[in-house]
Structure 1
Amino acid sequence: MSYIDQSIAKTLASQGFVILPDFLDASELQRLRQACQPISDQYGVRQVLQNYPSIYRALNWDKLHALLHAVDMVEAQAVRSIFFNKNADHNWLVSWHQDMTICVNQKTELAGYSKWTYKKDVHHVEPPAAVLEAMLTCRIALDDVSAKNAALKVIAGSHQSGKLRESQILDISQTAMHKTCAMRAGDILLMKPLLLHASDKARFATQRRVLHLEFSASKLPPPLQWAEAAFQSAHVSHSTD
């Protein structure tokens, strides 16, 4: 299947998400699973590309860059990376929400940047909506996922409303139709950060491993920089080693 397809960009713009089946072939999936093995017993690991270079090297960056090209994000870099594993020991509920924060190199007072937090040695901040609207999230499924083991739920088109208040999120989630993003291992979900999404506790708690990558081509206002982008720039030449 060719991923250089303009329909991807159109669907992403209108719906806020698109699932591409068989993004990884069997050997690529096995390589990525093997690279994630050292953290497979953990349920949430941040900065995985930075802290686990084998995961970075296991990814097919040519395919990822082709996707970014297809959605007009040719210059984008990975700016956040997280490994999730929802399973019998770690089976949590995620209520309806938008992804509203980014990871940056330092805390500074800038107009439009608020709600600063510091987690796992990284500064997080809520930026202006325009920064979030220009980002793309890619979630690579390492296992089959369905409603039984807590596939992501999304509300199509909800990203078009910008940042939403809690009362608006509650109202939309109670009245709008949602889609369950069932995926097979090796599939990839492309998603806009402001798309409303949630996940239930798994009813059948098998492993549900996901590599979550966020991309942006935007430059942040100085002195802010993306916390993980500098690492990626330094290692691009090693991605096919």
Structure 2
Amino acid sequence: MNETIGIDQSIAATLASQGFFVVPGFLDESELQRLREACQPISDQYGVRQVLQNYPSIHQAVNWNKLHAMLHAVEMIDAQPVRSIFFNKNADHNWLVSWHQDMTICVKQKTELAGFSKWTYKKDVHYVEPPAAVLEAMLTCRLALDDASAENAALKVIAGSHQSGKLDERQIVDIGQTTRHETCVMRAGDILLMKPLLLHASDKARLTSQRRVLHLEFSASELPPPLRWAEADRQPVHVS
């Protein structure tokens, strides 16, 4: 655990009850700069999927020892990345995201199984909505490459909303309109841990500086055969 900064066992309890947690200063200055440099070739794009597979330099720039030590601390032992996205909200790409849950996963091939529905196929990847249990066993880690505040559209979340399981559109609208939200203010180098079923959203930025994020989704579970994670990296990772 000596790779982590300010990690303690209470984070797991907070994630269970609140559905999110911001770890300040997770990346040191050299790690942050290395990750920014690795992402530079795609920084003019607003959203790039499968970045770990398609951009090996980004994969190499992540401190996996530190990340997996943190996952171990929050009871995600043996978790591996199963989805990776680079986001950059800026003056040229400034969009609004309404309240929603992250309800889909990426798999290698389409196979009709009970509980797996709403299949789509985009850019050579199959997407499907799995049973709630699959999503509840996952964790999203969002590495901030830039400062994020309300002015440049930091993520908004509704604490505890993940405990209600999958919500339909009407429920999401009702909760979004009637429940207090929190803004996840972050400094560059911070990391946001978030449960996929947590209701979250983001406004259009009022201050259109860059807001770059490396979004990584993790799972310690295998999918029911023959389904397989599209981006699973099952290489062993040493954690000191």
TM-score for both structures, normalised by structure 2: 0.96
For 1:3 and 1:13, the matched residues in 2 are separated by 19
1:177 paired with 2:192, answer no
- Please tell me whether the aligned partners of residues 3 and 67 of structure 1 are also in contact (alpha carbons under 8 angstroms): no
Correspondence for 1:73: 76
User: How much has 1:122 moved relative to structure 2?
Assistant: 0.4
Q: Deviations over 1:121-148 (max 9, x none)?
A: 1000000000000000000000001000
| Seq. identity, % | 82
1:96-115 paired onto structure 2 within 5 Å: 96-115=99-118
After superposition, where does 1:38-77 map in structure 2 within 5 Å?
38-77=41-80
- What is the match of residue 130 of structure 2? 127
Unaligned runs of 5+ in 1: none
Q: Point out 4+ residue stretches in structure 1 off by more than 2 angstroms.
A: 1-4
Could you tell me which amino acid in structure 1 is paired with residue 76 of structure 2? M
What residue number does 2:12 align with? Answer: 9
Structure 1 position 2, deviation (Å): 4.0
The 1:132–1:122 alpha-carbon spacing in structure 2 relative to 1, beyond 3 Å, is same
User: Which is richer in helix?
Assistant: 1
SS in structure 2 at match of 1:83: strand
Give the distance between the partners of 1:67 and 1:126, measured in 2 at CA.
27
Aligned AA for 1:176? T
- The reply to whether residue 161 of structure 1 matches residue 164 of structure 2 is yes
Corresponding residue of 1:233: 234
Counterpart residue number, 1:197: 200
Shift of the 178–89 alpha-carbon distance from structure 1 to 2, 3 Å rule, reads: same
Q: Please name the residue that 1:33 is paired with.
A: 36
- 1:18 equivalent in alignment to 2:26: no
The 5-angstrom pairing of residues 82-101 of structure 1 reads 82-101=85-104
Is the 2:52–2:84 contact (alpha carbons within 8 Å) kept by the matching residues of 1? yes
CA distance in 2, matches of 1:205, 1:53: 29
What letter matches 1:233 in structure 2?
A: R
TM-score by length of 1: 0.95
CA contact (8 A) 1:103 1:123 kept: yes
Q: What amino acid is aligned across from residue 102 of structure 2 in structure 1?
A: D
What does the per-residue CA deviation read over 1:43-75, in whole Å, with 9 as the maximum and x for residues that have no partner?
Answer: 000000000011011011111111110111111
Q: Aligned equivalents of 1:67 and 1:180: distance in 2?
A: 23
Q: Name the Cα RMSD after superposition.
A: 1.3
Deviation at 1:233, TM superposition (A): 2.7
Tell me whether 59-68 or 150-159 shows the greater mean CA deviation: 59-68
CA contact (8 A) 1:153 1:181 kept: yes
Which of 177, 186, 189 does residue 189 from structure 2 map onto? Answer: 186
Q: Deviations over 1:95-150 (max 9, x none)?
A: 00000000001001100000000112100000000000000000000000100000
Tell me how many residue pairs correspond in the alignment. 235
CA–CA distance in 2 between the matches of 1:2 and 1:123? 36
